[in-house]
């Protein structure tokens, strides 16, 4: 059962911290060498991973008392509790208020997402992400990237539209019948709201948090960054209006690459269902692949 009074994010240790050195030991030398390596380095501070800034800004939305807690972050890790001690030590040293965790000793993480009441799951493992999406939970695989969001202040989250905020119904027409058929279909259905996609509920919860602040004082800013252009823009606008969900910026690119626009927006993270868009975005901002819809079949 999801907790309705706060936004709950589940994140894997490899998305939160840079664990690539230890992961290399694991893949090249095996479990025993990895365990030895982590125990020997358990007091060494782990450097921030791709999603670290996102998590820090989310946790900064909380007040100073439990009654003011708007966001909770849960750590999920394939480490054992023994090798995971370094992760908890690093959480403490980075002063992140993360208190709940599950260490699975190599087993899949997705089993604990629902019991923890998570609304979003971020992982470096696409297989866990697929399982979470099939459970109806917003989930995405963080891409390895040199891009790190270092800007302080406002949390900025960007989304693709089809197969992310919306279902992949319209994208299926584009993939199967081409652009002309897609444009014709969207023009004819302009007044019919699109079905919701895997991130509709997460966007709704972000919008709910935004409504607790006055206008420009909101610490959260959202953007829709879509390959759609006219005439396919109208149905998107009318859908969000029908859902009564605010999105701060909408960028209709008509097929142009997204990376530079996401950099201009200053995204702390960008969610897209297409690998190519994610890889392009990851050159400029942290990006995560939503392994969902026709593009991933």
What does the block give as tokens for 228?
Answer: 């759609």
What does the block give as tokens for 275?
Answer: 């690998």
Length of the chain: 297
Burial class from Cβ neighbours inside 10 Å (0-12, 13-18, 19+) for residue 121 reads: buried
Cis peptide before 231 (omega within 30 of 0): yes
Which is catalytic among the residues 128, 160, 168, 273?
160
297 alpha carbon, distance to own chain's centre: 20
Specify the DSSP element, H or E, that contains 265: helix 259-265
What does the block give as tokens for 291?
Answer: 């392994």
Residue 160 among the catalytic residues = yes
Q: Which residues contact 94 (CB under 8 A, 6 or more apart)?
A: 45, 48, 52
Task: Write out the catalytic residue numbers.
Answer: 160
């Amino acid at each position: 059962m999801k907790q309705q009074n706060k936004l709950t994010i589940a994140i894997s240790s490899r998305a939160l911290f840079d664990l690539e050195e230890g992961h290399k030991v694991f893949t090249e030398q095996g479990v025993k060498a990895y365990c030895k390596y982590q125990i020997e380095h358990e007091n060494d501070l782990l450097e921030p991973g791709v999603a670290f800034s996102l998590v820090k800004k989310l946790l900064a939305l909380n007040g100073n008392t439990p009654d003011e807690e708007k966001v909770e972050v849960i750590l999920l890790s394939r480490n054992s509790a023994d090798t995971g001690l370094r992760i908890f030590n690093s959480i403490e040293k980075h002063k992140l208020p993360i208190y709940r965790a599950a260490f699975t000793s190599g087993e899949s993480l997705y089993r604990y997402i629902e019991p923890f009441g998570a609304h979003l799951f971020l992982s470096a493992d696409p297989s866990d992400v697929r399982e979470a999406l099939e459970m109806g939970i917003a989930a995405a695989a963080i891409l390895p990237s040199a891009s790190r969001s270092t800007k302080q202040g406002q949390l900025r989250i960007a989304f693709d539209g089809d197969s992310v905020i919306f279902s992949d119904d319209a994208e299926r027409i584009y993939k199967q019948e081409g652009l002309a058929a897609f444009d014709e279909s969207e023009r004819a259905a302009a007044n019919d709201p699109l079905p919701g996609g895997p991130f509709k509920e997460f966007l709704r919860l972000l919008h709910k948090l935004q409504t607790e602040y006055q206008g420009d004082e909101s610490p959260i800013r959202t953007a829709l960054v879509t390959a759609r252009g006219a005439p396919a823009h109208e149905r998107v606008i009318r859908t969000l209006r029908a859902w009564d969900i605010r999105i701060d910026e909408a960028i209709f690119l008509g097929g142009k690459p997204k990376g530079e626009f996401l950099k201009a927006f200053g995204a702390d993270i960008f969610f897209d269902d297409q690998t190519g868009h994610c890889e392009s975005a990851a050159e400029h901002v942290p990006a995560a692949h939503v392994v969902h819809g026709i593009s991933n079949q």
